[in-house]
Amino acid sequence: MNDKKDFLDKGPFYHGTKAELAIGDLLEPHHLSNYQDKKSNYIYFTATLDAAKWGAELVTSTSKERIYIVERLGEFENDPNLTDKKFPENPTRSYRSMSPLKIIAEIGSWERHSDEQIDHMLTSLKKLREQGKDLILD
């Protein structure tokens, strides 16, 4: 019998960030969000490399962009910030968990989105922020 966590997605799973982490480190909730000045109740991850690239590229930091392959250590759910608002049925395969994720590898090189795509996304996010619509359901 499959439980909920097996039903959603079998992975592999990725986490895009600018944090320098080591194999075996845990990504845990209740740390400062990469995107807003607040602590997050969840740790966010995805099963698509494209969504992980966005995660790394949009972090407000000047550190190196990184994508880690992660292992989930507990229950997880669809990320309502994407699935409920923008992409019904979760085509981005974006998830969140209150349980840690374990770093099992780092992707050494990957092709970034174009500067134009990144600038467009940052401009769109800035407009949402100015309109007070950049709320994260957390």
- For 44-85, how does the pLDDT look when each residue is reduced to its tens digit (9 = 90+)? 999 999 999 998 998 877 889 999 999 999 999 988 877 666
Domain range spanning residue 31? 4-130
Assess if residue 136 is contained within a domain. no
| Residue 1: predicted pLDDT | 37
- Per-residue pLDDT tens over the stretch 17-27: 989 999 999 99
CATH number, residue 51: 3.20.170.40
| Residue 80: predicted pLDDT | 84
| Residue 64: predicted pLDDT | 92
Assess if residue 57 is contained within a domain. yes
pLDDT top residue among 104 and 8: 104
Assess if residue 80 is contained within a domain. yes
Assess if residue 29 is contained within a domain. yes
Count of structural domains within the chain: 1
Query: What is the rounded average pLDDT of the residues 106-124?
Result: 92
Q: Can you give the pTM of this predicted structure?
A: 0.81
Residue 102 in this model has a pLDDT that exceeds 90? yes
Assess if residue 137 is contained within a domain. no
* 3-state SS, residue 77: strand
| Residue 9: predicted pLDDT | 87
DSSP assignment string, 5-74: HHHH----EEEEES----TT-EE-SSSB-SSSSSB-SSEEEES-HHHHHHHHHTSSSSSPPEEEEEEE-S
Assess if residue 51 is contained within a domain. yes
